[in-house]
Structure 1
Amino acid sequence: MITSSAEVGTAAGVPFVVVPPENGPPESEPRPDAPVLVGWHLMDAPRSEAAFAAALPLAGLDAWRVYLGLPMMGARLPAGGMDEIMRRGYEDAVVLMHGPVNAQAADEFGAALEALRARFGFGAGPLGLFGGSAGAAVALEVATRRDDVAALVALSPLVQLRPVVAILGQLFGVDYRWSPESDAVAARMDYVARAGELGATPVRLVVGSEDDASAFLEPARDLAAAAAGPADVVVIEGMGHALADEPGLEPAPQTAHAAEADAAAVAWFRQHLGA
């Protein structure tokens, strides 16, 4: 569950959960160089910032942990709710869902971070990014745009859009027809091809052994191989794609597999950020 010290709200229009650093005496101020870790949830469970904070608490880190809500998800569901999201997915999952969610989340990140920095007094500590599935793609997109990302953890990561669309098409019985517009989105969301834009940022990719290999494990390994900085792939035995039980909207007890993913993320941030 979410720690009692967490704060929730909205920053520059983006829903958030913020958990302060854990170490230090009670009531003490966080150290000014405490790392700031910012992450985005999945479209699968957990599919809200609060549920993601419960599934991946990153416990034990002397760091700020910030969980941001994705556009079109959670508190920002469009009129019609999940039925409307499903309608858009059936009509054109790339142009109407994956593309705009990824682009808007990356576009709004800078203003949200500055608003949170002003509200909570983040110091000059290093910036780490994390995310699950579509949220991992947002973390990767943001990292391609900034030169201050000191470490990144991508869980059940959407690393290349095309194989994910192919798997979703099989799952939902949709024969997706690519167009010049959707081709452009897929090219932008191909982080194997864009690995050079990540610079030397250390990247850890965490994938479940039961997730689809062609859509998630193989692209993750390709990205790790293409990365200029430290990179590895952690495979969690028996884990599928989700990091929480359904429905995944509200905070829930951490699953055993999510605890393993959490530990892998904690170890990476501790190694590369001194958290």
Structure 2
Amino acid sequence: MDTSAMIKGVAAGVPYVALRPEGTGGPAPAVVTWHLMDAPRSERAMASALPMSGVPAWRVYFGLPMSGERPLPGGPDEFFRLAGEDYVLNIAEPVTDQAAAELPAALEALREQLPITEAPIGVAGGSAGSAVALEVLARAEVPVAAAALVSPVIQLAPVVAANARRFGVTYHWSERSRAVAERFDFVRRAGELGTDVLLVVGEQDDVAFREPAEALYRELGERGRLVVVPGMEHALAEEPGLEPAPQTPHAAVADAEFTEWFQRRL
């Protein structure tokens, strides 16, 4: 996509890029999105992968803590050191909690910077970013019209097991980390997600993502939609996934599903 169309800014300390709504010169609602920790792993790259151009709303892509425009002082080496020490307590919990807690003030600041209406927002996310979107729904601190998730983290414990398999390590659970995993089990908390949720999963993604998405879909009933994308794995962009890049065929499928979902609900 044309990266010159991206508006870059900071809202209450949270870096973002925004895409203007097409076909309207006046105020419009917003969809706020959080990126993956896999590719695309920055706000600019996520905007390129899932632009949702047909949605008549501002599409705003927030950077996650510890990544994107807010890397740790030690960079990727420090990130992987912390993840190796305790992924749940050092990465998953603080990133999800901080990103969700930042939203109310960031949204208020956005409305001072961009002509965004007071209408309920859409929320979206991929992988780690989807856990943020789900936590935002559960906290209910801002009105949300609908949510859309791709390669979603629905239950933290299976994802920890998948990472252990992927990197050939053993995660040592503690009482505290088990409590965190229980809190970030959104199948169990499905009743707290008070809006419609779209779930887009890759047919070739790890079972740690596919099966919890299916379980959440069953719990949501009529409030949910599950789309399985043939041949898709977990990532939505080619590595390294930090800068805008041509949209992959699988990302195009997810983008079309997100676009139709929000067109009907905003």
* Pairing 1:220-259 to 2, within 5 Å after superposition: 220-227=213-220, 230-259=223-252
5+ residue gaps in structure 2?
none
CA, structure 1 residues 145+5, in 2 after alignment: closer, same or farther (shift >3 Å)?
same
Matching of residue 157 in structure 1 with residue 152 in structure 2: yes
User: Residue in 2 aligned with 1:270?
Assistant: 263
Q: Give the equivalent residue in structure 2 for 1:185.
A: 180
1:272 alignment partner AA: R
- Aligned partner of 2:14: which letter? V
* Residues 41-85 of structure 1: per-residue CA shift (max 9 Å, x gap): 000000000000000000121111000000000121112101111
Structure 1 counterpart SS, 2:53: coil
Q: Is the 8 A contact 2:121 2:144 kept in 1?
A: yes
Q: Hey, what does 1:18 align to over in structure 2?
A: 18
Aligned counterparts of 2:133 and 2:265: Cα–Cα separation in 1: 17
AA in 1 matched with 2:85 = E
Instruction: Mark the CA change 1:254 to 1:103 in structure 2 (over 3 Å): closer, same or farther.
Output: same
1:48/1:191 Cα in 2 relative to 1: closer, same or farther (>3 Å)? same
CA distance in 2, matches of 1:93, 1:86: 9
Q: CA deviation at 1:256?
A: 0.7
| Greater CA drift, 153-162 or 6-15 | 6-15
| 2-structure distance, mates of 1:81, 1:137 | 23
Is 2:43 the partner of 1:49?
yes
Aligned ranges for residues 86-235 of structure 1 at < 5 Å?
86-146=80-140, 148-199=143-194, 201-213=195-207, 215-227=208-220, 230-235=223-228
Sort the Cα spacing of 1:209 and 1:228 in 2 relative to 1 into closer, same or farther, 3 A: closer
Kindly provide the amino acid, as one letter, of the partner of residue 15 in structure 1. Answer: P
TM-score normalized by the length of structure 1: 0.93
SS in 2 for 1:251: coil
For the Cα contact (< 8 Å) 1:159–1:220, is it kept in 2? yes
Q: CA RMSD in A?
A: 1.2
Per-residue deviation, residues 214-271 of structure 1 (Å, max 9, x unmatched)? x111100111111265201101111100000000000111111100010011111112
The one-letter code of the counterpart of 1:186 is A
270 and 127 in structure 1: CA distance in 2 versus 1, 3 angstrom threshold: same
Q: Distance in 2 between matches of 1:18 and 1:56?
A: 12
Gapped runs of 5+ residues in structure 1?
none
Q: How does 1:14-93 map to 2 (within 5 A)?
A: 14-24=14-24, 29-30=25-26, 32=27, 34-93=28-87
Q: Which amino acid aligns with 1:245?
A: E
Q: Distance in 1 between matches of 2:228 and 2:113?
A: 37
What's the secondary structure of 2:213's corresponding residue? helix
Kept after mapping to 2: 8 A contact 1:203/1:229: no
Identity %: 56
Moved more, 154-163 or 171-180: 171-180
Output the CA distance in 2 between the equivalents of 1:3 and 1:173: 38
Cα displacement (A) at 1:121: 2.4
Equivalent residue letter for 1:92: D
- How much does 1:125 deviate? 2.9
Distance in 1 (alpha carbons) for counterparts of 2:91 and 2:59: 27
Q: How many residues align?
A: 265
